Chain A
Amino acid sequence: MTDILAITDHRRGELRDVSYEIITAGRELANETGGDLHLAAISGAVDDFAENLNREGVDAIHTVSHGEEFNHDVYTQAVTQLYDDLAPQYVLIPNSVNGLDYAPAVANQLDLPIVTDTIGLETDGDTLIATREMYGGKVETTNELEGESVVTIRSAEWPVAEGTGDAAIEAADVEIDESAIGSTVTGFEEVAGGDVDISEAEVLVSVGRGIEEEDNIPIIEELAEALDATVSSSRPIVDNGWLPKNRQVGQSGKVVTPDVYIAIGISGAVQHVAGMKGSDTIVAINTDPNAPIMDIADYAIHDDLFDVVPALTEEFGG
Chain B
Amino acid sequence: MKILVTVKEVATVEDEFEIKDTEIADQYLGADLNEWDDYAVEEAVQLQEAGIADEVVTVTIGPEDSEQTIRQALAKGADRAVRIWDDSLEDVDLLDVNAKTEILSAVVDAEDPDLVLTGVQAGDDSFGATGVSLAEEIGAQWGAVVNHLEHDLDDVASVRRELEGGVEELTDIELPAVLTIQTGINEPRYASLRGIRQAQRKELDVQSLGDLGLDESATESQLTLTDMYEPESESDVTVWDGSADETAGELGELLRDKGVAP
B153 at the binding interface (Cβ < 8 Å): no
Shortest Cβ gap from B25 to chain A (Å)? 12
Whose C-beta in chain A lies nearest to the C-beta of B235? A295
Q: Which of A11, A113, A226, A239 contacts B184 (CB 8 A)?
A: A239
User: Using a CB-CB cutoff of 8 Å, which residues 87-132 of chain A contact chain B?
Assistant: 95-98, 100-105, 107-109, 113-117, 129, 132
Is the beta-carbon distance between A139 and B174 smaller than 8 angstroms?
Answer: no
Is the beta-carbon distance between B124 and A135 smaller than 8 angstroms?
Answer: yes
Is the beta-carbon distance between B136 and A104 smaller than 8 angstroms?
Answer: yes
| List of B residues within 8 angstroms of A281 by Cβ | 254, 258
User: Using a CB-CB cutoff of 8 Å, which residues 273-305 of chain A contact chain B?
Assistant: 281, 283-284, 288-291, 294-304
Shortest Cβ gap from B13 to chain A (Å)? 5
**Inter-chain CB contacts under 8 Å: number:** 274
Is the beta-carbon distance between B260 and A316 smaller than 8 angstroms?
Answer: no
Is the beta-carbon distance between B261 and A145 smaller than 8 angstroms?
Answer: no
Q: Which of B98, B124, B258 contacts A114 (CB 8 A)?
A: B98
Is the beta-carbon distance between A315 and B252 smaller than 8 angstroms?
Answer: yes
Whose C-beta in chain B lies nearest to the C-beta of A12? B167
Q: Which of A117, A134, A254, A301 contacts B251 (CB 8 A)?
A: A301
Complex CA distance for A229 and B258, rounded to whole angstroms: 13
| List of B residues within 8 angstroms of A238 by Cβ | 184
Q: Which of A105, A255, A315 contacts B165 (CB 8 A)?
A: A255
User: Using a CB-CB cutoff of 8 Å, which residues 230-247 of chain B contact chain A?
Assistant: 230-231, 233-235, 237-241, 244-245, 247
Is the beta-carbon distance between B129 and A100 smaller than 8 angstroms?
Answer: yes
> Most chain-B Cβ atoms within 10 A of its Cβ — which of A132, A254, A291?
A132
B86 at the binding interface (Cβ < 8 Å): no
Q: A203 with B260: in contact, given A97-B145, A143-B223 (CB under 8 Å)?
A: yes
Q: Mark A129-166, 1 if CB is under 8 A from B, else 0.
A: 10011111111111111100100100000000000000
A252 at the binding interface (Cβ < 8 Å): yes
> Most chain-B Cβ atoms within 10 A of its Cβ — which of A235, A294, A301?
A301
Is the beta-carbon distance between B126 and A134 smaller than 8 angstroms?
Answer: yes
Q: Mark B65-106, 1 if CB is under 8 A from A, else 0.
A: 000000000000000000000000000001011100100000
> Most chain-B Cβ atoms within 10 A of its Cβ — which of A136, A182, A300?
A182
| List of B residues within 8 angstroms of A302 by Cβ | 239, 241
Q: Which of B98, B137, B162, B237 contacts A298 (CB 8 A)?
A: B237
Complex CA distance for A245 and B162, rounded to whole angstroms: 12
| List of A residues within 8 angstroms of B19 by Cβ | 139
Complex CA distance for A163 and B133, rounded to whole angstroms: 37
Complex CA distance for A146 and B97, rounded to whole angstroms: 15
Is the beta-carbon distance between A186 and B240 smaller than 8 angstroms?
Answer: no
Task: Please give the residue numbers on chain A whose beta carbons come within 8 Å of chain B beta carbons, in ascending order.
Answer: 11, 16, 72, 76, 95-98, 100-105, 107-109, 113-117, 129, 132-146, 149, 152, 182-193, 202-203, 226-229, 235-236, 238-241, 245-246, 248, 251-255, 259-260, 262, 281, 283-284, 288-291, 294-304, 307-308, 311-312, 314-317
Q: 20 extra interchain contacts, Cβ-Cβ under 8 A, other than A193-B166, A314-B248?
A: A101-B145, A102-B132, A105-B132, A133-B231, A138-B13, A140-B231, A145-B223, A184-B171, A184-B172, A188-B169, A202-B260, A203-B260, A228-B261, A245-B166, A253-B165, A294-B237, A298-B237, A299-B251, A299-B254, A315-B252
Q: What are 10 sample pairs from A and B whose C-beta atoms fall under 8 A apart?
A: A97-B162, A104-B130, A132-B126, A141-B227, A183-B141, A187-B170, A188-B163, A294-B233, A297-B235, A300-B238
The 7 closest A-B pairs by CB, nearest first: A192-B166, A311-B248, A239-B184, A307-B244, A113-B222, A104-B133, A182-B141
